[in-house]
């Protein structure tokens, strides 16, 4: 397999067929759009968010693609007003596992859509560990997002303890299969996966590019075992202390299609530098 990449897209040569005739050959390749997504978490005020969104948008050119920010719910509409005519795209940080009704505190996929969202994170490790989002509820949230034409960004990843006891792949299997079992393999093609080792989130500790690639490759292989076409199409992002200094090496890996950026996405210059590293 020969890999070629250029800014904003990952071009992967998957088959090169040589025929008998000299100088005659055909090749088929898949193009995966790269994606750099910021996750603001529960940070900043309304005016901070608007200033940040404006500054990011101001640093983009008309043809730019594959850049998004996941914003606190209460600022989604305001941020959408600022970015709607720019290449910057909007996402929510979670989505309800129900369509509508008596679910106090939850935000539905339809509500996110109304606020201008294209994406919603599901199963972020902070949701799983602090707020009890289970594999099953994450799978239901994933399905609810797709039902409302929101692209779910399924976050998976192991804790330090799980890595140290060689359970990384088992954890990934469990988290991924919960969604595949409920939504079906073809639904994965219409989603984004984010591999975020929990020990690297907000800790300043980044997985090495080889450690990240190993897990990304594993995820793609598990999907390929069920559908080669889905595996070739799905974007798999890396998240966990990505910064301008380490982004280039991480994004250069063949199975890493971009990043989910927490801390460094709160500063427009850093976030844009990470986007430029693709």
Contact residues for ligand PGA, defined by CB under 6 A: 39, 196, 201-202, 239-242, 260-264
Can you tell me the distance from the alpha carbon of 42 to that of 69, in angstroms, rounded to the nearest whole number? 13
Both tokens of residue 197? 């080792």
Smaller CB distance to ligand PGA: residue 261 or 277?
261
Q: How far is the CB of 116 from ligand PGA (least distance, A)?
A: 21
Both tokens of residue 207? 């997985």
Can you tell me the distance from the alpha carbon of 252 to that of 108, in angstroms, rounded to the nearest whole number? 36
User: How far apart, in Å, do the first and last CA atoms of the chain sit?
Assistant: 20
Q: How far is the CB of 265 from ligand PGA (least distance, A)?
A: 7
For residue 143, report the phi and psi dihedrals to the nearest 5 degrees.
-65, -40
Among candidate residues 18, 51, 10, 41, the one with its CA nearest the CA of residue 260: 41
Q: How far is the CB of 182 from ligand PGA (least distance, A)?
A: 23
* Catalytic residue list contains 216: no
Q: How far is the CB of 120 from ligand PGA (least distance, A)?
A: 13
Smaller CB distance to ligand PGA: residue 144 or 270?
270
Residue number of the CB atom closest to ligand PGA: 262
Which position among 80, 124, 162, 216 bears the catalytic label? 124
CB-count exposure of residue 169 (10 Å: 0-12, 13-18, 19+): middle
Can you tell me the distance from the alpha carbon of 142 to that of 273, in angstroms, rounded to the nearest whole number? 30
* CA distance readout (Å), 55 to 2, 119, 200: 37, 21, 27
Smaller CB distance to ligand PGA: residue 143 or 201?
201
* Catalytic residue list contains 124: yes
Can you tell me the distance from the alpha carbon of 233 to that of 255, in angstroms, rounded to the nearest whole number? 11
For residue 61, report the phi and psi dihedrals to the nearest 5 degrees.
-100, 160
Q: Are 178 and 136 in contact (CB under 8 A)?
A: yes
Which position among 12, 158, 162, 196 bears the catalytic label? 196
Q: How far is the CB of 244 from ligand PGA (least distance, A)?
A: 12
Can you tell me the distance from the alpha carbon of 13 to that of 4, in angstroms, rounded to the nearest whole number? 7
Q: Which residues are catalytic?
A: 124, 196
């Amino acid at each position: 397999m020969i890999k070629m990449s250029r800014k904003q897209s990952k071009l992967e040569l998957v088959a090169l067929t040589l025929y008998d005739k000299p100088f005659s050959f055909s090749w088929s390749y898949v193009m995966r759009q790269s994606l750099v997504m910021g996750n603001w978490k529960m940070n900043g005020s309304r005016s901070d968010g608007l200033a940040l969104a404006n500054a990011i948008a101001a640093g983009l050119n008309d043809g730019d693609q594959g850049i998004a920010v996941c914003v606190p719910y209460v600022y989604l509409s305001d941020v959408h007003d600022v970015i709607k005519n720019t290449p910057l795209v909007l996402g929510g940080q979670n989505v309800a596992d129900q369509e509508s009704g008596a679910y106090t505190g939850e935000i539905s996929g339809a509500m996110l859509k109304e606020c201008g969202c294209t994406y919603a994170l599901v199963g972020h490790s902070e949701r799983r560990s602090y707020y009890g989002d289970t594999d099953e509820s994450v799978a239901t949230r994933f399905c609810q997002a797709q039902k409302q034409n929101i692209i779910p960004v399924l976050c998976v990843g192991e804790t330090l303890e799980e890595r140290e006891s060689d359970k990384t792949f088992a954890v990934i299997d469990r988290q991924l299969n919960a969604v595949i079992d409920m939504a079906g393999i073809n639904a994965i093609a219409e989603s984004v996966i984010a591999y975020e080792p929990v020990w690297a989130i907000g800790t300043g500790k980044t997985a090495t590019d080889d450690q990240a690639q190993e897990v990304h490759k594993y995820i793609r292989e598990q999907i390929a075992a069920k559908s080669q076409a889905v595996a070739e199409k799905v974007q798999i992002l890396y998240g966990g202390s990505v910064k301008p200094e380490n982004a280039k090496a991480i994004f250069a890996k063949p199975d890493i299609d971009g990043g989910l950026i927490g801390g460094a996405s709160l500063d427009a210059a850093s976030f844009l530098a990470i986007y430029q590293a693709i």
